[in-house]
Structures are given as structure tokens and as C-alpha cells.
Amino acid sequence: MALYRAAAAVLSGLERGEGGLKSLVYGSGFPHARQLYALVAETLRYGPVLDALLDGAALLRVEKKLPPPLAKVLVYDLLFGKGLKCGGRWKALARRHRARLQAELARLKVPRYVRVNVLKTCVDDVVEFFKRQGYSFLGKAGSLEELRTLSGKKFILDLHLPELLVFPPQTDFHDNRLYTSGHIILQDKASCLPAFLLSPAAGSHVIDACAAPGNKTSHLAAVLKNKGHIFAFDLDTKRLATMNTMLMRAGVTSCKLAQQDFLSVDPHDPKYSKVKYILLDPSCSGSGMVTRLPLEEAAPSAERLQALAGFQRKVLSHALRFPAVQRLIYSTCSVHREENEDVVHTVLQEPGLAFR
């Protein structure tokens, strides 16, 4: 632990302007000066990344007694160095937050995906807009590696989704006028896949069973070209209000929101007689989303997974009982088989279910 305390002291001295790196290291009295110098130098080199990790993982807000310079040194060695060489409570603390820190690091590496809202604009116009802002357009991606290596002010067209632009990680568009006007939607690629794969024809009737916060709903409207009808259900009043604002900004006119439990919707109600497409994205553990890991790094219990799977089976079974349905997309943000393949397999074995 002496190494990390010495490194934290040098970092503090640098922040206070008490001297340069070399003078502070060799004036520290630490017996292994080269080792100390290397650790501090590398921690400084990773400074912006470490700041982002500590902020995103909320480490200093949770561990209020942990000095920030010491936190930086510990996190550097935990994630980028040769592994923690100390014992005691600081090592236990760092390891307790390891999964969250690793998840935050993964998030920092994820490209920024931008879906062009074709209800208001087109891909070519958005590309030209960003080029005028100083970005370089690289055309359509030919491999995933091209997405992973994006840097600076460069962007590319996704290799699978025709209206999805890809920018380097951490590119911020929240104040960009294309975002505030609804011309672009900040939506991860995984979130874009359900509507893309459901692919309802223009003029179709569609159900979005668990709709809020609405990114997938707005995408459905874009696929439909606002021609047809989307029945969107959710129980949460605040989420629906936020969703309504977002849909208005996106120019969606083909959607009817209902504050209603989808399980209470009558499949044989005449108003749903033309529903051929259903998008079902039910509540799940969120275990596949790196930005939603809890601060306490515990995997969902078997009881929690079974409870979620029970609900998921109910809503999937209910969705398949709409008489005209021809295509259904079931999606979760979970990596657990219990919430995915097992749910689908069980429901398709139910007696009296004609959907195949």
C-alpha cells in the first residue's frame, strides 16, 4: 500500500504546483523511485480516462473517505496496470467496484450511434450538415473494426442499418440543433434493431406493448413513414409524458399512447383486428447494458430472474393471441437465457397457441 500512498501524494503535490514529477518522486523518500515514477507517469497519461471512469462509476460519491488521487492510482493499476499489489481495505474497496468500473470503461469505448429521423430529414442532408461542422465522412463501414477505431471528428455509416451514423465514443450531441429539433435521435444500435427487424409495411397497424421511453416507437413510426397506426402502451405516467414530448419533437403523428397494462388489453377488441405486427420489449434485468449495472455489483438472484421470466412469458403469450398478428419481435436487454431463449421456447409450447 505504501506505493499507492506515495503515488497519491505525488499527484497531490503536482496538483498544488509544489514541483515537477521527477523532483516530487525523488524527494518523496520512497525507496523504489523508478517504480513510483512509472506509476505516477502512467496515471497522469490516463488522467482524462480515469476522471471519466470515476465520475461515471460514481466511485467517489459512494466511497466518500477515498481521496481522489489515491482513487486514480488504484483504478489505474486495477484496470490498466499489472493489477493491485496491495492488501487491506483499499484493495477490497477497489475490487468491490471492479465490475462497475470495467462496465464504465466498456461504455467509454462504445461508439456514439445517431439514428437519422427520416420523418424530418434524410441521411444525405444530415451527412452534409456534419461535414459543414468540420466532420469527415468515411462512407459506409465495411467491418466492425472500422467502427471501433473511429477517432477525432470522423464518422461513418453503419454497415447494417441504413439510417444509422456512427461517431467516436463520447461524442456529445445533446446541444446540437439537429438533436434538439428531433432531426436525429441518440439511440444505441441494439435499440434500433427491433423496429428494423419487425419492418412493418407502410400503412400497417402495429402494437408497441411496453413502449416508454419511446425511442423504438419513434423508430417504428419512421419505418411506417407515419402511415398506419401504432398502439403504444405503458403504465408509468411520467415516462409516458416524457415519451409524448419526445414523439412530438420527432414529428410522430401515427401513434396513440395509452396508459394501460398491456396484459389488460383485449386481443379480440375490434380496434386491434388489423394488428399484424407487435414489438415486445418487456421489463428485464438489464444485465446486457453496461450503463445500467448497479453500484453494488451483484448479479440478479435466481428468484429475481424467475420473477422477470414469469412476467415475460405472460406478456409474450398475451401478444401472440392477437388474431391477425403475423410478425412479432421479442427483445430484452438481458444476457440471461432465462429471459430470452427459455421464455420463447416455453411460450411456443403452450397448448392452443396457433402462432408458428
Q: Which domains does the chain carry?
A: 2-107 (no CATH), 111-186 (3.30.70.1170), 189-348 (3.40.50.150)
Residue 255 designated active-site? no
Predicted local confidence at residue 156, as pLDDT:
98
Residue 111 DSSP symbol:
P
Alpha carbon separation from 322 to 124, 205, 247, 327 (Å, rounded): 39, 12, 26, 11
Residue 279 DSSP symbol:
E
- Is 52 labeled as ligand-binding? no
Beta strands per DSSP E along the chain: 112-116, 136-140, 154-157, 164-167, 184-186, 205-208, 229-234, 255-259, 275-280, 327-330
- Is 212 labeled as ligand-binding? yes
Distant-in-sequence, close-in-space partners of 237: CB < 8 Å, separation ≥ 6: 259
- Is 210 labeled as ligand-binding? yes
Q: Is the bond leading into 67 cis (omega within 30 degrees of zero)?
A: no
Question: Residue 137, SS3?
Answer: strand
What are the φ and ψ backbone dihedral angles of 279, each rounded to 5 degrees? -105, 120
Predicted local confidence at residue 110, as pLDDT:
80
pTM (2 d.p.)? 0.74
Question: Residue 156, SS3?
Answer: strand
Predicted local confidence at residue 124, as pLDDT:
98
- Is 213 labeled as ligand-binding? yes
Residue 156 is placed in which grid cell?
461513418
d(CA 168, CA 333): 23
d(CA 356, CA 50): 50
Predicted local confidence at residue 59, as pLDDT:
85
Distant-in-sequence, close-in-space partners of 199: CB < 8 Å, separation ≥ 6: 223, 327
Where helices occur in 80-187 by DSSP H, the ranges are 88-96, 98-109, 123-132, 144-148, 177-180
Distant-in-sequence, close-in-space partners of 188: CB < 8 Å, separation ≥ 6: 110, 113
Predicted local confidence at residue 104, as pLDDT:
80
- Is 124 labeled as ligand-binding? no
Predicted local confidence at residue 94, as pLDDT:
76
- pLDDT mean by block of 10 residues, the chain; 356 residues: 88 90 90 90 86 85 88 87 70 80 79 96 98 97 88 95 94 93 95 97 97 95 97 93 96 97 97 98 82 47 91 97 96 93 94 68
Distant-in-sequence, close-in-space partners of 63: CB < 8 Å, separation ≥ 6: 71, 93, 97
